[in-house]
Structure 1
Amino acid sequence: MLNLLRPFLRDRFLHLLLITGAILMCIAPFHFAALPQAIDWHTIITLAGLMMLTKGIEQSGCFDVLGMQMVKRFASERQLALFLVCAAGLLSTFLTNDVALFIVVPLTLTLKKLCAIPVSRIIIFEALAVNAGSLLTPIGNPQNILLWGRSGLSFGAFTWQMAPLALALFISLLLLAWFCFPAKPLAWQAHEKSHPWQPRLVWCCAALYLVFLVALEQKLALWGLAVVALGFLVMARRVLTGIDWSLLAVFMAMFIDVHLLVSMPSLNALLTPLGQASDLTLFASAIGLSQFISNVPATILLLNYVPASALLAWAVNIGGFGLLPGSLANLIALRMASDRRIWWRFHLYSLPMLVWAALLGYGLFLIS
C-alpha cells in the first residue's frame, strides 16, 4: 500500500495543480456536482489501459531484447537518437502522440541500461517529435480530431493542409537533434537489472492490447479497461502495483482546473472579440492560450468563437511546444522519464522550438 501511495505524496506537480484548483474554486463560479463531468473520462480510461499494457510489456523483458538488438545495429549516439526521434514522430501520425510515447519512451529507458546515452535529452526530443509528427494527420492528436470533425474536410485534404508545417517542423527538429547528439560511439555498460524474457506475458499483453483497441473502437472503453485489469490481476499482479497511478490524478486535476478557469466570465469576455480579430491576433492567441491550459482544451474553447480553419489548426498544434502544459504528451513523456531535472531541461529545448515554430508557421501561412 505504501508503494502505491508514495508517488502521490512525492508528486509536486500534482500538489501544485491541487493548490491551483483550490484557488480557482474561490474565484470561479462552479457547482461541485459538475466537476466530475469536467474530466474527460475517455482519456483517463485510455491512459490507464495504456499504462498497464506498457508496464506489462516492460516487465516481460521485451524491451530488453529489442534494446540489445538496437544497440548492436547503431554505431553512434547520434544515429540512435535520430532513429528514436523519427520513430516517435512517424508512430504519432497514426497511433496518436500519447500511444507513440508509450512505445518509444519505455524502449529508450531500457537502452539506458545497455549503453551510456543521454536518456533525458532523448526523451525530450521524443516529446518534441510526437508534437511535430502528430499534427500531420486528423488522427494524430485529440485537437486534430476535433478540428477535422468541424472542418468538413476529407482525411487527405486535412493532411495536405497540415503537411507544410509538419514537414518544416520535423526537418527543423532533425537538424536540431543532429547538432545536439554527438557522433561518438555507443559505450556498452553492465546491465544493471533486467527482467527475464517472458514470452507468455508478451503474448498476454498483445492479446489484451487488441481487446482494448476493439473496446475503444466500439465505445466500450470501460469494459475494455476492466478486461485488461482482470487479465493482469490473473497473469501478473506486479504489473498493477508497478504503475505510477498518480499520473491519472494529475490528468484529472488538470481537467478540473481548466474547467474552473474557462468558466470565469472574464475569460469569455476576452475571447469573444476573436471572431473578428486579425489572423495574427488569432494565431498568437491560440498559441498563448495553449501554453497555459493545453492545446486540446484551448481548441475546444476557441471553436466556440472561431471556425475550424487551417490557421487555428496550425496555431494550436504549434502551441504544443513551449511550456510543459502546452501538450499533455509533454507531461506523459517527462513523467515516464522519472528524472526531476528533466522538467526544467525540457524548456531549454521546447521554448526555442516554440519561437521557431511560431515564426516558421506564420511565415508559411502567409505564403501559402
Structure 2
Amino acid sequence: MRPGPLGAALLLLGGALLLPGRPSLSHGGGRPSGDRPDAKGCGTAPLVNVLTGSRIVGGTAAQIGAWPWIVSLQIRSGKIMAHICGGSLVTNSWVLTAAHCTRDTRDPVVWRAVLGTNNIDGRRPHGKIIKVKAIIVHPNFHLETYVNDIALFRLKKAVRYNNYIQPICLPFDVFQKLDEKTECFIGGWGRTTEEGNSTRMLQEAQVHYISRKVCNSDKGYGNIIPITSFCAGDEDGIFDTCRGDSGGPLMCYVPEHKQFFVMGITSYGYGCGRKNFPGVYCSPFFYKTWLTHHLNRARNKSIFNINSLLGQVLVALGSVVLLATP
C-alpha cells in the first residue's frame, strides 16, 4: 500500500528495506547545464518521442532514454544498495523527491543517486552513480498527514547532460494548465501490484488528473488530501503508482512549450490501483519560493566561492595571473 495519513491501515512505501516510499506504480547532450531552477532545454527526451511509446501498476517497461530525468535514490543495506524512492533531476546538481523518503535517515552519506538508466540492477552502460552531498526537507513536513511532502537532494558532483540524463522542467508557470485532458505519465521501480514485487526495470504508465471534488469525496479520501496536493491516476485503478515509487515525478506534457513538467511528486495513496483511491501527489508549484530559494542559494554560494578563490589567487600572483594564458 502507499503511505498515507490513514494510520496503520497504510503500508509505508519504500524498497526492500521497508523504508518510506510510495507504493509501487500500478502501471506499469547537449542542453545548457546549470544549477538553475528555470534552466532552458528542460523537459525533453532526445532519444524518443515518449508520446508514441509504450506507457507502472498496469504499465509497461519504459523505452531507453524515455524519461532521462527519473532518478533512483538508494541507501546501503549491508553489502547491497537498495532502491528506496524515485526522484526527478531538476538541475545538474539537484534531485526533487518526497520528504517522507527520508523518514528513516536524512544522513546524506548513506544515500546515492543512480541516473541515466532504466535498469538499476544490472549493467548500466549509460548510467551514472553519484553520492549525495546534502538533503533538504521542507521544514513544515508532517509525516502523519503528508503535508508538505517535498525534499531536495543535492548531488556531490554535478552531472553532465547527455541523451540519457536531462532535467525536467519545474511547473511554476504552467501548473494552472493541468486538467483531465493533460497528458501525464508516471514512472518508477516500485511494485507492479499491491502485493507484488518491485521491479528492476523502469516501468511507465499514462494517467490523468482527477479533480479534488472526486478524489476528496466520501467515496474516496474523505477530505484528508492536503491543499498543496492533488490526485492523478485512473478512476478504476487500472493505472497507479505503488510501493517504491514514492518521490518520483508525475510528468505532464504541455504542448505549447513542447516540454514535460514535474506537476507532482509521488506522495501517498491507499493501497495500489484501488478504485476511488488514486495516487496523491505533492505539487512543486506551491513551493516556488522555497525551491527557488534553495536552488539559487546553492548556485550563488558556488559562484561566490569561485570568485572569492579567484580573487585570492589574483592577489597572491598579481600580474602573473593577468599575463597567464590558458
Smaller-chain TM-score range? Answer: under 0.3
* Structure index of larger Rg: 1
User: As a proportion of its length, which structure holds more helix?
Assistant: 1
TM-score under structure 1 length normalisation? 0.22
User: As a proportion of its length, which structure holds more strand?
Assistant: 2
